[in-house]
C-alpha cells in the first residue's frame, strides 16, 4: 500500500505522488512502467510515471471513484510489460556492444525501446547486412553462454577507469554511478531494468535497418522472436518454390530479377523516346496542333517532348493512359494568345477531371475517350 502525498487534476487524469512507489519512470530509452491503482473507493489505470524534481509523479486515468490526498491505495505493476522491456533493454546493451565489434566507427545516438520491436539509432559511415548478421550471431552466442549481468555502483573517478564504458558523464548528477556489466563483455551506465543473465533475454533478432540520413541509421530488433522466425521461414520456403532455387540462392536470384527489370525499364524509356520523336501535326486555324495517345509512358519524357514541339504557333496535347489514370498534358507556344491552363480547365470540367497549370503548360486527368478530348481541344483552338 502507498499513501497519496500530492494530488492534482490535468484534463481527465490525476497527477499523484506517493510516499513510496513500485513504478519506474522512463529513462535510458526505456519507457515508463504502467499498471493499475485501486482502493476500496477507487479504480484506475497508471498510465505513466514521470520524474518530477527528485520525486515521481504518476499519471492516472480514473475508471471509477475519486482520489484524495492521504488516501491509501494499492499499486499493481504490469509485470508482463516490465519483463518484456527488461529483456529488450538488456538485449539492446548486448546487441549494440556486438555491433561495435564489427562496425569500428559505430556511435550511439539514442535508443527507443518497446514491448514488441525496439530500435537503436546510430552513426556510422556505412552499415551492411553482413555486419549486422555477424553482430546478431555474436549476441546470440553470448545469450547461449548464459553470462551473468552484474550491477555496480562506482564513483565518477572509478567509472572513468573502466575500459570501453558507455556513459554520458555530463548528464549524471549523482555521486554514485550505476554501471551494468555483461560479464567480461560490456559496461554501460544505465538506470533501466535488466535481466540477471544473458540467457533471460531469449534471443536477439535484427528485423530491419535503414539509413535515416548521411552517416545515420535506424536498426530495429526483437527479443521475442520464435513466431517471427517461423513467419520468415514460411516466406523463405514460398520464395524458394516460386523462384525454383535453393535457400542460399534466393537473394542472388531476386537481385538478378531486379537487375533485369531495371534493364527492361531502360529499354522501354528508349522506345518511348523513339516513339515520341515520330509525331505529326495538323493545322487548326494556322496553328500546328500535335495530338497523340500514349500507353503508360513516363510523364517526364512526354512533358519534355511536348515542350520541344511547342516552339512556334504550336499547341500540343498528349494523353497518357496508365493503369490508374488518364493524364492530359497541354503545352502552348509563347507566341500564341491561347492559355494552356484555361484549355485544361474547360476540358476537365466537361469530362469529370481535375488539374492545373499556367499559360504555356498544364497537366491534369480526365474520364473520357481520347477522341472526345482531342476533339474538344480542337474546338477550343
Going by C-beta distance under 8 Å and a sequence separation of 6 or more, which residues neighbour residue 286?
313
Name residue, grid cell 520523336: 277
pLDDT of residue 6: 94
Picking from 62, 67, 30, the residue whose alpha carbon sits closest to that of residue 49 is 30
Share of the chain above pLDDT 70, in %: 96
Region of poorest pLDDT, from 236-240, 262-266, 357-361 = 262-266
pLDDT of residue 372: 92
**What would the pLDDT profile of 72-98 be if each residue is shown by its tens digit?**
999 999 999 999 999 999 999 999 999
Of 347 and 301, the one with more pLDDT: 347
pLDDT band at 360 (very low <50, low <70, confident <90, very high): very high
| Record: fold of 279-380 | Diaminopimelate Epimerase; Chain A, domain 1 (3.10.310)
Measure Cα distances from 63 to 16, 46, 49, 151, 274 in Å: 15, 11, 18, 38, 70
Region of poorest pLDDT, from 264-273, 319-328, 331-340 = 264-273
Going by C-beta distance under 8 Å and a sequence separation of 6 or more, which residues neighbour residue 95?
120, 135, 136, 139, 204, 206, 221
Q: Are 234 and 130 in contact (CB under 8 A)?
A: no
Please give the Cα distance from 19 to 55 (Å, whole number).
Answer: 10
Q: Are 198 and 142 in contact (CB under 8 A)?
A: yes
pLDDT band at 151 (very low <50, low <70, confident <90, very high): very high
pLDDT at 65 over 90: yes
Mean pLDDT along residues 186-190: 92
DSSP-H helix ranges across 281-369: 299-309, 340-350
pLDDT band at 123 (very low <50, low <70, confident <90, very high): very high
pLDDT at 299 over 90: no
pLDDT of residue 158: 85
Q: Are 329 and 306 in contact (CB under 8 A)?
A: yes
- Tell me the domain boundaries of the chain: 2-77, 82-224, 236-277, 279-380
pLDDT at 281 over 70: yes
pLDDT at 305 over 70: yes
Q: Are 314 and 288 in contact (CB under 8 A)?
A: yes
Mean pLDDT along residues 121-144: 97
Dihedral sign for Cα atoms in the order 348, 349, 355, 358: positive
pLDDT at 270 over 60: yes
Backbone angles phi, psi at 168, to 5 degrees: -110, 85
pLDDT of residue 236: 87
Going by C-beta distance under 8 Å and a sequence separation of 6 or more, which residues neighbour residue 276?
294, 297, 301, 302, 305
Please give the Cα distance from 97 to 107 (Å, whole number).
Answer: 11
pLDDT at 272 over 80: no
Q: Calculate the CA 345 to chain-centre distance.
A: 39
Mean pLDDT, the chain, as a whole number?
91
pLDDT of residue 75: 97
pLDDT band at 167 (very low <50, low <70, confident <90, very high): confident
pLDDT of residue 277: 62
pLDDT of residue 341: 94
CATH code, residues 82-224: 3.30.980.10
Mean pLDDT along residues 234-256: 87
Which CATH architecture does the domain made up of 2-77 adopt?
Answer: Beta Barrel (2.40)
Name residue, grid cell 510523364: 299
pLDDT at 291 over 90: yes
Amino acid at each position: 500500500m502507498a499513501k497519496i502525498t500530492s494530488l492534482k487534476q490535468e484534463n481527465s487524469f490525476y497527477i499523484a505522488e506517493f510516499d513510496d512507489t513500485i513504478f519506474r519512470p522512463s529513462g535510458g530509452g526505456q519507457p515508463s512502467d504502467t499498471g493499475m491503482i485501486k482502493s476500496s473507493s477507487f479504480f484506475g489505470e497508471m498510465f505513466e510515471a514521470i520524474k518530477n524534481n527528485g520525486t515521481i509523479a504518476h499519471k492516472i486515468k480514473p475508471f471509477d471513484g475519486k482520489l484524495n490526498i492521504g488516501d491509501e491505495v494499492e499499486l499493481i505493476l504490469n509485470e508482463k510489460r516490465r519483463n518484456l522491456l527488461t529483456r529488450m533493454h538488456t538485449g539492446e546493451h548486448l546487441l549494440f556492444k556486438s555491433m561495435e565489434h564489427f562496425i569500428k566507427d559505430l556511435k550511439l545516438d539514442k535508443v527507443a525501446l518497446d514491448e514488441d520491436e525496439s530500435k537503436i539509432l546510430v552513426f556510422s559511415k556505412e552499415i551492411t547486412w553482413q555486419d549486422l548478421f555477424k553482430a546478431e550471431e555474436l549476441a546470440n552466442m553470448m545469450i547461449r553462454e548464459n553470462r551473468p549481468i552484474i550491477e555496480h555502483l562506482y564513483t565518477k573517478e572509478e567509472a572513468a577507469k573502466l575500459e570501453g564504458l558507455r556513459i554520458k558523464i555530463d548528464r549524471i548528477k549523482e555521486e554514485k554511478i550505476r554501471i551494468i556489466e555483461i560479464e567480461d563483455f560490456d559496461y554501460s551506465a544505465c538506470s533501466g531494468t535488466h535481466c540477471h543473465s544473458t540467457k533471460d533475454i531469449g534471443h536477439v533478432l535484427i528485423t530491419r535497418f535503414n539509413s535515416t540520413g548521411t552517416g545515420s541509421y535506424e536498426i530495429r530488433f526483437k527479443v521475442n522472436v520464435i513466431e517471427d522466425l517461423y513467419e520468415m521461414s514460411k516466406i523463405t520456403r514460398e520464395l524458394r518454390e516460386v523462384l525454383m532455387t535453393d535457400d542460399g540462392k534466393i537473394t542472388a536470384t531476386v537481385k538478378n530479377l531486379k537487375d533485369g527489370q531495371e534493364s527492361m525499364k531502360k529499354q522501354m524509356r528508349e522506345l518511348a523516346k523513339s516513339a515520341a520523336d515520330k509525331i505529326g501535326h495538323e493545322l487548326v486555324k494556322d496553328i500546328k496542333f500535335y495530338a497523340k495517345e500514349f500507353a503508360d509512358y513516363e510523364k517526364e519524357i512526354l512533358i519534355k517532348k511536348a515542350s520541344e514541339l511547342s516552339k512556334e504557333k504550336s499547341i500540343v496535347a498528349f494523353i497518357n493512359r496508365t493503369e490508374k489514370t488518364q493524364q492530359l498534358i497541354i503545352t502552348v507556344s509563347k507566341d500564341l494568345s491561347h492559355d494552356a491552363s484555361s484549355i485544361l480547365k474547360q476540358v476537365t470540367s466537361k469530362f469529370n477531371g481535375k488539374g492545373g497549370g499556367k499559360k504555356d503548360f498544364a497537366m491534369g486527368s480526365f474520364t473520357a475517350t481520347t477522341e472526345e478530348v482531342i476533339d474538344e481541344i480542337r474546338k477550343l483552338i
